[in-house]
Chain A
């Protein structure tokens, strides 16, 4: 529990890259103008079509444990972005950024995942970083 904490930031606090989610659904339920940044522990990484979902257990301001779901693209798109299923394992501590649902439920479109070693995984090439947060060559 000591290793888990959550930070929920309000709208426009973070400046994140424009997110393009190739989806089989409208993104109308998400608030693209709002951002969340949460730190917690990976519960599950559903590496699936039509979308992958990264579930992260966080502790909210009231001390309650909440599972947040972050929706991402399917496996082939994630692979093209260098996001292999083996890189995000249950039990791993991560900081995740995303655009939340408008209705306040704990889910968001995934923007980026920062791992404990400082590397950043993202479909947005401009956000990707290697260990220690160092820039990496993007394809």
Chain B
């Protein structure tokens, strides 16, 4: 190399290192953790000898209406706004502690108030009604809130190719049957929080679930969460869904925009616009009533 080019080359090298090392380290770390969750998934698949071949007559009966048991806790043993059982990294520990401190000061916001989806794995804890649609090649797990459908492909396909993948609200889920247990691997999630008063997770989060009906009225989801940015070790929790027996109850279309008058305040907290106040969106006038933004003349 020409002597005059050496400083330039050195500078380029330094800049390259500065720009690339953190990303490379994060990528390596993600790779390591992704491999951990993938490894657990593949080990379970191997143990199940590739998975149980499902036909219509062999499918377990998960019909009915269900709801999450234990409120909105991701670890049902731990209340919200209490020390978490997750082993958090220092960065996410600090974020969680700030969240709790802010809440004590009267400041709290939830992106659900923008009528956005909960996101996965928070989705596991969402309240209201659930339904499972079980087919030999696919399972749909329906959540009343936001009328969300989580599709779990069990037809032998892999995840979305890396060059086509992007983060989604319910992630990319593939699985197989091990007898009556549905084993699921989920990646490509958006960052979020397990719920209000609980820690956050990054968009590098992935999960392995083992879902099975443990009694006539209980479906259990055994979950291990992997997240290299927020956890120092995988987080294992067990969530349960109980049968709802209210007569005539059905899951209907659920629109968050139907009656949402929640706003974010200047300090980042939550407030309401009440009926009669400026900016109130009257649910009776959303479709046919007057008002709304005027088109420029």
Contacts and interface: CB of A to CB of B under 8 A. Distances in A.
B258 A49 contact: yes
A26 B246 contact: no
A26 B110 contact: yes
B144 interface: yes
A74 interface: yes
A48 B259 contact: yes
A102 B274 CA distance: 14
A22 B196 CA distance: 11
B262 A25 contact: yes
Contacts of B108: 26, 28
Contacts of A53: 259, 275
Interface string A71-93: 10011110110000000000000
B94 interface: no
Contacts of B107: 28
Interface residues of A, number: 31
Q: How large is the interface on B (under 10, 10 to 19, 20 to 34, 35 or more residues)?
A: 35 or more
Interface string B81-123: 0000000000000000000000100111110110100000000
Contacts of A62: none
Interface stretch (B1-9, B50-58, B183-191, B248-256): B248-256
B202 interface: no
Q: A-side binding surface: helix, strand, loop or mixed?
A: loop
Q: B128, B129, B144, B284 — which one has the most chain A CB atoms within 10 A of its CB? A: B128
Contacts of A48: 258-259, 283
Interface string B250-282: 011011101110100000011110111000000
A23 to B, nearest CB: 8
A78 to B, nearest CB: 11
B173 interface: no
Given A29-B271, A76-B144, A22 B128 contact: yes
A76 B283 contact: no
B293 to A, nearest CB: 22
Contacts of B145: 24, 50
Closest 7 CB pairs of A and B: A22-B127, A48-B259, A26-B108, A24-B112, A26-B270, A25-B113, A28-B108
